[in-house]
Structure 1
Amino acid sequence: MKFICNTRELSTACNNVIRAVSTKVTIPTIEGILIECGSNTLSLTGYDFEFGINTIMNVDVVEPGAIVINAKVLCDIIRKLNNDEVTIETNGTSVSIISGAAQYNITGIDADDYPELPSVNNGKRIELEQSIIYSMINQTVFAVADTESSKPVYTGLKFVIENGMLTMVGVDGYRLAIRKESIGYDGEDIEFVVPKKTIKEIVKLFNLEDDKKISILISKRHIVFEIDNYSIISRLLDGEFIDYQAAIPKVSSTTILINTNDAIDCIERTLPVIENNQKNPIRCLFDGDQMRVSTVSSLGRVVDYTHANTSGDRVEIGFNSKFMLDALHASDTDEVKIELGGPVSPAVIKPINSDSFIFLVLPMRLKNEN
């Protein structure tokens, strides 16, 4: 195998593909990047048996072939080259990398030993605008669980496609985020759960200045996201997901209309004296035309106020400050509506005039301040 290509383009491709290379399983083959040369094209693949990234780029191919090269070694070498072009040539499993005056000779691995990526040839295909899916992910992924301490399926973002509507749902046992968008899809209904790791990686490949659509191919066990010249394949998560529609309270006794940034600023002013979000809740009092926020810890005590339009019952309720801030930061409206059913019911945060997003935050038990 022998090819010549632009150094910067190869470095960018390697740095994207390496994110799918295994860092937990010490198997030399999947610690590497599969390099395959065809007719003036170069394919780079990283895969850890659960998540894979492949990209294809145009290069000057002198001799087709394939090899696996340790991903970290390859990326480090290409990143340090200062010449515009690089030539990579193999002789068996011996790899030569030449760029300007620099010449490296390293050992690769036979490409036949590399695992085959799952096939999704018979999957259902949908296309989405990059800006839409980017916005929807930003407003839901914060609520996806980071660990499998509750249920593994909650470490993924749920997609529901039905009646021309896409719904994304994130949940971690303490909060719930729901985002809806009309996508004009007229195929059969689909629902699936994509691991949080995959979601975070595909966002890094978005080019929001480009109006190209993202193509998504879904099979029973795997999903492929096609973004520009990249293909990202991932397994899907199995398990029974929460009935998110039933989780939303149907009635409320208190409704608050509040400026989103004012609420964020008021809560953030309590952070300097919060030692531990799990042990030091913020105490929110909604009454009349104000929101009173306070907290106390061994570091001290803080009380702050901001304007709010409260209707219904006066209510005092405790929250994890991070969970409330995550929900408010994810709101893309100047004002939000907060609905409360009392001091022990979840807070429902949503736009004033629509239901494009709904965030639920569970309350925390408050102790007497004295």
Structure 2
Amino acid sequence: MAVLTEKALIQIRRDLHAMPELALKEVRTSAYLEKVVAGFNQQYLQVRHIDELPTALLVRVAGSHPKRTLGYRTDIDALPVSEKTGLPFASKNPGVMHACGHDIHMTVALGVLSYFSEHQPSDNMIFFFQPAEESENGGKLAYELGVFEGQWRPDEFYGLHDNPDLPAGAIGARMGTLFAGTTEVNIDLTGQGGHAAYPQDANDMVVAAAQLIGQVQTIISRSIDPIEGGVITLGKMEAGTIRNVIAGHAHIEGTIRGLTQVMIKKIDQRLKDVGDGIARSFNCDVKVALNQGGYLPVENNPALTKRFITYMKSNPDVEFVETKPAMTGEDFGYLLSKIPGTMFWLGVDDDSQLHSATLNPKESSIEKGINAITGFLESRMSE
């Protein structure tokens, strides 16, 4: 179904892979995407830029007999990872790499768009080439700027993430949550420093922090339904200056992950409760700062996801895999909290994992993904 040939798609992927850029700095990437889109049949297309989010690109496809507007989103940013693949088209931007496979995401999106530029869809379509997925929550930024209003508001939103653990070109999906939501945790404990020989005249924040860390471990094990699950990881702690001085301050950083927003809010509250308890117990000041931003759980819409899975299972050309939820984060969850839709996996069959310096997705997944997605969207429009 792809209008762009497989050879052209692979070249696009390699071009994009060689020019990775970090969140909100995707200047060359955005220009390249627009250049490719400019080569498509423009009869049904309308391109839009956002002054306040200059690396974002939106393309509207006018439907012939629209009953709805279908949205398709791809992320365009890369990660601060030094590539170690040894590929001839490896990153030319030192210290930056498409280690999450967004080059595959973009190429698939361009393939789907190229198809509908030649085969006018019956419904309207919005393609959102989104900056800043890895950080800075670009989906939330775009939504809060009022981008998705009027003729630019999808009734349904779809998007994919590549998966090295699935066969190349396979489609993976599940009812419910695909990705966890994530919250950044910053905790500051402030007491009174002093001489190690006179603990009675000080208020030791190393001891207070140790107690807090121990109590935090009970939140998941004793406050959260084990069937639902959640994660708190406190990955960094700083306190003290020298061995014989009692620390008057400690700083802790970590992350919370949960499969539903309700679960995340519950974990958030329990963490605050623990902080309040430590403050009272140790007569110190404990500040718990939580920042979720746009990284909400990717909670797939039940009706739309059921329709998506039914189509993929019934298509003999699609290898469908029902997947488990993942504790990794994705800011498409924010858009799905505002607009119903579905996120799914595209298998890329690689021994290296996402965010790895050696990630090298199978390029044979690209055309298979495009065909599966265009087939589903056309099926959806026929209803």
TM-score range, shorter chain: under 0.3
TM-score by length of 1: 0.20
Q: Which has the larger radius of gyration?
A: 1
The structure with the largest helix share of the pair is 2
Looking at both structures, which has the greater relative contact order when contacts are Cα pairs under 8 Å and sequence separation is at least 6?
Answer: 2
The structure with the largest strand share of the pair is 1
TM-score by length of 2: 0.19
